[in-house]
Amino acid sequence: MDRLTYSSDSVEAEILPELGARLHRLRVFGQDLLRTPDDIGAYAREPFFWGSFVMAPWCNRIESGTVRVGSREIRLDPNFSDGTAIHGQVYRLPWEPQPDGALRVRVDDNGWPWAYEVAQLIGVVEGRLRLDYALTNRSTDPMPAGIGIHPWFRRPVRVAIHADAVYGRNTDTSPEPEPVHGPFDLRALREMPDGLDATWTGLARPPVRLLWPTLGVQATMNVTAPEVFIVAASPRSLEAIAVEPQTHAPQGLRRLLRHEPGALAMLGLEESLRMSVELAFEQ
């Protein structure tokens, strides 16, 4: 299995191009920050719970089955225990290194009736990791589109999500967000309560801060995209939390068809949806 390493004196990022261009390991000041398996075969067996992976052409959950958008028909099989189609299609496909240093994958027909391409460009400079993404429509008809990343950060970790509003349930997401309250108010740095799976919006800058108190590492996450949402989940069964920058809210296809906020974007021919994520680390 090929591995690509990007490093500075303080940050090392290891990518697996053949397994969805997944960020397998993120080591900062000598400390591993991601939930990383000892056996990389775990990425094939449990693709959604390790490392950090790219989500495209949609993020989070959409309904499986058949849905018509314009003149095209989407036919998606469920790939998650709740019967939904989750996290897109590129998380386990092989990506190809390009002369410009990017990694790219093209998908022509996999139940999503548009051809599309996804590019990822990784950069490490001093104490910063920068990840640039582009999702491009290669079909003649307009294509619904969303992109995001899904890192699992090792516990114990404290998190601050600087947001005014939240969709409190990703499994049954409401059309409109509500003001942050109770366990969803993460504007001050603290440990995330167990059992949350929600989406924050109305974000300030920076939207996210992270602190690993036992490792002596802290991070600031900045995200640039036409729209930015932060999904976060804290399963009781895992020794990690997910903090996921995305370009739309959960059930983005339903939102598009019903004209609800937080919908998938629509891309014309050769049009790209872009997102950049920068993690700045300090001791």
pLDDT one-digit tens code per residue, 34-51: 999 999 989 988 999 999
Q: In the structure, what pLDDT confidence band is assigned to residue 1 with cuts at 50, 70 and 90?
A: confident
Specify the higher pLDDT residue, 96 or 1.
Answer: 96
Q: In the structure, what pLDDT confidence band is assigned to residue 31 with cuts at 50, 70 and 90?
A: very high
pLDDT tens-digit profile of 236-247? 999 999 999 999
Q: Which helix (H) or strand (E) holds 44?
A: helix 42-45
pLDDT tens-digit profile of 178-216? 999 999 999 999 999 999 999 999 999 999 999 999 999
Contact 198, 181 (CB under 8 A): no
Q: Which of 42, 50, 62 is nearest to 145 (CA)?
A: 62
Q: What is the share, in percent, of the chain residues with pLDDT greater than 90?
A: 95
Q: For domain 4-282, is the CATH number 3.20.20.70? A: no
Q: In the structure, what pLDDT confidence band is assigned to residue 225 with cuts at 50, 70 and 90?
A: very high
* pLDDT greater than 90 at residue 132: yes
Residues making up the chain, counted from first to last: 283
When pLDDT is averaged across residues 260-270 and rounded to a whole number, the result is 97
pLDDT the model gives residue 44: 87
Task: Determine the Cα–Cα distance for residues 147 and 143; give it in Å rounded to an integer.
Answer: 13
pLDDT the model gives residue 280: 98
pTM of the model: 0.96
